[in-house]
């Protein structure tokens, strides 16, 4: 080992360390051609967008509801019509909460009605409602410090989502504790009800619901979200009259668990059929709007992204599997059941990709995987850029696929999120809020990633 | 020079070649703090978005129109109110085309009215209109091949924008020849009028206008764009009855050139006041909608991005100059006049940034600059990512700044473009089509780039 050899070896090691791995030119050219074909097909035919239109016409898909079953059977039929090699419904019992037909919050003596929506899982009020003074707090610390005032009152958690954060999921994450744990904290302080300011980026009056929770050791008190304009109104009214009372009426209820299903469709691989590349989303939604972005659109992207292989006659070595998970919003029972099935039958997942951050313009993919794998797949970016994907980064994947064990990579599709919290969990989440090109480009991005994983492997 | 030394030197050269240049950690931390401050301020205060609301209330700003002057005086006053060190109106004569109040296209004998909009610069029809048979062609080649049939007819250029292209500007570029040169090609074939399918990504019935052109050696024939739904209708009707006639009436006209202005405001630099970093957009718009995306929003981003320096008390070494160029849509006279002024008074432009691709979520910056400079500024990406900027690439800048000589970099702000051609040059380009977070995030991105250029230089 003389110095020249040492030099050569060092350089080689160095180059390997520094040079990002790249696809060879011929491969890249070929992959880019396929990526262009996929993208063009997705953008011109709008198959997924039109499927989403049909799905939205069925209505919202809250777990356990009649509509959710209609949608499940619709999806099963669609996968069959598309010629998937196997399509089946995986049974799972899900929570069945129902909003009822009464929800109102009136400022006593004024007739002023606040625009509210019961939080998912909330207990009802008595028929005559709950009439109580309102204590406004910004956070749990403030509630603690005002504990002696909370007894017998309705707690109004009024902290806004932080609009100054670029990532709207971070903004959401910083405010949603009021919704998810507000009733526990309020009950602990002796309160009788909860109203929260809707967690949203939009300053309108549409209430945004979402799951709340209770503990068995404390009273379960009713809880609702109020639209932001009415949240401002209530805040102002409380400044003028701190002893004003609100009458809250809700007749929502939790019914016995209901039978529901994950919808599962496979396109068998020709070379390694035992290895599964899964695409998925969650098929349940909240019960306002139609869950177009959250997550009907994501499910349809998962579906079309593998159906495109059939349509464009692209042969898949591995088995492509689309899963519409049920009950992500209020129980995650679908994901738990799929993971149980996967473990007990030793399903061999090679990779799983979830779309559950809205169906807006593609930005990147978030990989829950080994760092070396992530480093290695950076070489696919010149191909993925065809559909607007600018990065692959380490990060979380998706709630539904995160329970799958032994996959080499769990992957979250990351679109632009600036408009997502405008519609999330609310009546704003309609088919009309989805832009066809944005959605279809995302479908293409996922399809191209599936294509690369299938062909190149990790 | 022994082999070990050779090894060390080679490694050093190699590292220099391969390692991307990076900011030192302390600098990056400091810059990121400022970038976060800028982004937070932009997203929470919505100053630009509210200015755009005011601007849109004035109405559209077609060059030479009364509205355009109202808007110019409004902008001058805003810059003064913001405490800019100098604000002035740069006079320039601009074309003055006026749509008039008659535009109709009726399928003779059926009463079916097509939804049209005269193309910018079109000549009028006679008062009684032009009634003629219609020859549909997809492109100029087809027109050439059907030349003998074109005489005396209205040519219907019906080629759609290619929806299969990811970049909507590329789609637009592939179809807009019909609009910009259709009347010349049609007149050369002896036709008497032109109707074009609107160049847009949206399948609605809103016509999209834009500049057309004539040559003095050929008859000038009237021309209008038709909404896509009516374009389909006309196409179908022609299949059933190839001899159907359309009566086209337009009373648009070209008035004598009018006095107008570029609006220019400076914030003087404390260290190198003679070096100018320019931000700009074009202030004129088409006369439907209010030019919210094209390019009122871009102008306001250019304005707020430097006004943020004053608001946040960030000192600028170089002079920051905002320019609202007039007449980009139908003459570029504002840009020409600014370049003339710049050349004749030896204005020292260090860099210029234009926002004229809509005010959607930030994606990147397109640099018209030397490759080494572009390589060097990649090190700013970790800072620019604060506001969602994922890349800096070589490419075009903007129509208005492209005439500026000797700047080290001419830069185009690149937002997501998926929805841009939906609204471009049409009644869809309203204030309501602008999303506050998307617009404000773009403003922050531009402000951060100005900050880095000012502090770091190239």
For residue B230, give Cα distances in angstroms to A259, A295, B161, B198, B233.
49, 35, 15, 10, 5
How many whole angstroms separate alpha carbon B248 and alpha carbon B234?
A: 13
Mean pLDDT of chain B: 96
Nearest residue to B386 (alpha-carbon basis) of B19, B21, B41 = B41
Reply yes or no on whether the pLDDT at B3 is more than 80. no
**Residue B231, token pair as written in the block:** 């374009």
Torsion angles phi and psi, residue A329, rounded to 5:
-70, -35
pLDDT bin (cut points 50, 70, 90) of residue B20 is low
Containing A56, the helix (H) or strand (E) segment is helix A47-58
* Chain B nearest CA to A420, separation (Å): 11
Q: Is B215 helix (H, G, I), strand (E, B) or coil?
A: coil
Kindly report the pTM of this predicted structure. 0.95
Strands A193-197 and A223-226: parallel
CB under 8 Å to A95, separation ≥6 — which residues? A63, A64, A121, A254, A257, A258, A327, A330, A331, A333
How many whole angstroms separate alpha carbon B2 and alpha carbon B431?
A: 70
Nearest to A7 among B7, B19, B166 (CB): B7
Nearest residue to B296 (alpha-carbon basis) of B169, B409, B424 = B424
How many whole angstroms separate alpha carbon B314 and alpha carbon B309?
A: 5
pLDDT at position B23 is 93
Check CB contact under 8 Å for A419 and B441.
no
- Class of residue A286 by CB neighbours under 10 A (exposed 0-12, middle 13-18, buried 19+): buried
> Rounded mean pLDDT of B121-135?
98
Reply yes or no on whether the pLDDT at B9 is more than 90. no
**Residue A60, token pair as written in the block:** 């919202």
List the A223-226 sheet strands across, edge first. Answer: A112-114, A103-107, A245-250, A130-137, A154-157, A193-197, A223-226, A116-118
Check CB contact under 8 Å for A14 and B14.
yes
**Residue B19, token pair as written in the block:** 């390692």
Through-space distance between the first and last CA atoms of chain B, rounded to whole angstroms: 35
Q: Is A128 a catalytic residue?
A: no
* Chain CA centroid to CA A434, Å: 15
Structure confidence by residue, pLDDT tens digits, B221-263: 999 999 999 999 999 999 999 999 999 999 999 999 999 999 9
For residue B254, give Cα distances in angstroms to A324, B65, B97, B118, B291.
59, 12, 4, 12, 21
Torsion angles phi and psi, residue B258, rounded to 5:
-115, 155
Reply yes or no on whether the pLDDT at B33 is more than 60. yes
Nearest to A164 among B43, B388, B435 (CB): B43
Check CB contact under 8 Å for B386 and A18.
no
Secondary structure (DSSP) of B376-438: HHGGGHHHHGGGT--EEEE----TTTTT--S-SEEEEEEE--TTHHHHTTBTT--GGGS-HHH
Nearest residue to A451 (alpha-carbon basis) of A361, A369, A380, A379 = A380
* Chain B nearest CA to A363, separation (Å): 9
Longest CA pairwise span in chain A (Å): 94
Asked if residue B353 lies in contact with residue B401, where contact means CB atoms within 8 angstroms, the answer is yes
List the B193-197 sheet strands across, edge first. Answer: B112-114, B103-107, B245-250, B130-137, B154-157, B193-197, B223-226, B116-118
Asked if residue B396 lies in contact with residue A414, where contact means CB atoms within 8 angstroms, the answer is no
Task: Give the residue ranges of chain A where pLDDT is below 70.
Answer: 1-20
Rg, chain B, Cα only? 25
Containing A387, the helix (H) or strand (E) segment is none
Check CB contact under 8 Å for A166 and B419.
no
pLDDT at position B21 is 81
| Other residues' Cβ atoms within 10 Å of the Cβ of residue B180 | 16
For residue B154, give Cα distances in angstroms to B125, B140, B223, B247.
12, 14, 9, 9
Check CB contact under 8 Å for A390 and B390.
yes
Q: Is B90 helix (H, G, I), strand (E, B) or coil?
A: strand
Rg, chain A, Cα only? 25
Nearest residue to B213 (alpha-carbon basis) of B329, B135, B323 = B329
* Chain A nearest CA to B436, separation (Å): 9
* Chain B nearest CA to A3, separation (Å): 6
Reply yes or no on whether the pLDDT at B17 is more than 60. no
Peptide bond preceding B295 in cis form (omega within 30 of 0): yes
pLDDT at position A21 is 81
Structure confidence by residue, pLDDT tens digits, B327-378: 999 999 999 999 999 999 999 999 999 999 999 999 999 999 999 999 999 9
pLDDT at position B306 is 98
Write down the H helix ranges in B46-176: 47-58, 66-81, 140-145, 147-150, 168-173
Chain B residues with CB-CB distance to A under 8 A?
2-4, 6-7, 10-11, 14-15, 18-19, 39-41, 43-44, 163-166, 168, 201, 361, 363, 386-388, 390-391, 416, 418-419, 435, 437-438, 441
Axis crossing angle, helix A436-456 with helix A47-58, rounded to the nearest 10: 120
Q: Give the alpha-carbon dihedral of B27, B32, B34, B36, to 10 degrees.
A: -170
Nearest to B361 among A39, A386, A418 (CB): A418
Torsion angles phi and psi, residue B92, rounded to 5:
-160, 135
How many whole angstroms separate alpha carbon A231 and alpha carbon A134?
A: 12
Asked if residue B303 lies in contact with residue B48, where contact means CB atoms within 8 angstroms, the answer is yes
Per-residue DSSP letter, B131: E
Check CB contact under 8 Å for B163 and A387.
no
Nearest to B441 among A6, A388, A418 (CB): A418
| Other residues' Cβ atoms within 10 Å of the Cβ of residue B18 | 13
pLDDT at position B220 is 98
Active-site position among B41, B76, B136, B328 = B328
For residue A19, give Cα distances in angstroms to A374, B15, B416.
15, 10, 30
């Amino acid at each position: 080992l003389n110095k020249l050899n040492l030099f050569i070896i060092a350089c080689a090691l160095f180059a390997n360390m520094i040079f990002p791995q790249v696809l060879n030119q011929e491969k890249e050219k070929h992959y880019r051609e396929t990526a262009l074909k996929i993208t063009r097909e997705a953008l011109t035919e709008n198959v997924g967008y039109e499927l989403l239109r049909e799905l939205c016409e069925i209505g919202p898909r809250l777990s356990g509801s009649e509509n959710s079953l209609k949608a499940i059977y619709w999806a099963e039929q669609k996968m069959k019509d598309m010629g998937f090699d196997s399509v089946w419904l995986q049974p799972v019992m899900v929570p069945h909460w129902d909003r009822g037909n009464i929800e109102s919050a009136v400022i006593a003596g004024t007739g002023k009605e606040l625009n509210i929506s019961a939080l998912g899982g909330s207990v009802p009020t008595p028929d005559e409602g709950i009439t109580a003074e309102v204590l406004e707090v910004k956070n749990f610390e403030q509630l603690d410090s005002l504990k002696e005032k909370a007894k017998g009152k309705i707690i109004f958690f009024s902290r806004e989502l932080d609009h100054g954060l670029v990532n709207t999921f971070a903004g959401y994450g910083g405010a949603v504790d009021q919704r998810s744990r507000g009733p526990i904290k309020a009950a602990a302080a002796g309160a009788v009800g909860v109203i929260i300011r809707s967690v949203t980026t939009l300053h309108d009056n549409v209430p945004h619901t979402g799951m709340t929770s209770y503990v068995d050791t404390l009273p379960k008190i009713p809880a609702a979200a109020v639209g932001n304009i009415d949240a401002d109104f209530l805040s102002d009214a409380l400044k003028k009259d701190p002893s004003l009372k609100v009458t809250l009426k809700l007749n929502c209820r939790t019914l016995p668990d209901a039978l529901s299903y994950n919808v599962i469709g496979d396109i068998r691989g020709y070379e390694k059929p035992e290895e599964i590349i899964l695409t998925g989303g969650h098929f349940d939604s909240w019960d306002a709007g139609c869950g177009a972005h959250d997550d009907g659109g994501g499910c349809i992207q998962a579906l079309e992204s593998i159906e495109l292989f059939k349509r464009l006659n692209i042969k898949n070595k591995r088995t492509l599997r689309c899963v519409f998970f049920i009950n992500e919003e209020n129980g995650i029972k679908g994901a738990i059941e799929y993971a149980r099935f996967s473990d007990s039958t030793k399903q061999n997942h090679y990779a799983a990709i979830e779309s559950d951050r809205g169906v807006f313009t593609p930005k990147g993919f978030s990989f829950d995987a080994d760092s070396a794998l992530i480093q290695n797949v950076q070489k696919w970016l010149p191909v993925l850029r065809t559909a607007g994907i600018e990065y692959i980064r380490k990060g979380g994947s998706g709630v539904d696929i995160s329970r799958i064990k032994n996959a080499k990579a769990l992957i979250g599709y990351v679109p632009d999120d600036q408009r997502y919290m405008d519609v999330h969990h609310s009546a704003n989440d309609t088919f009309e809020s989805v832009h066809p090109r944005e959605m279809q480009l995302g479908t293409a991005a996922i399809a191209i990633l599936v294509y690369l994983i299938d062909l190149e492997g990790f």
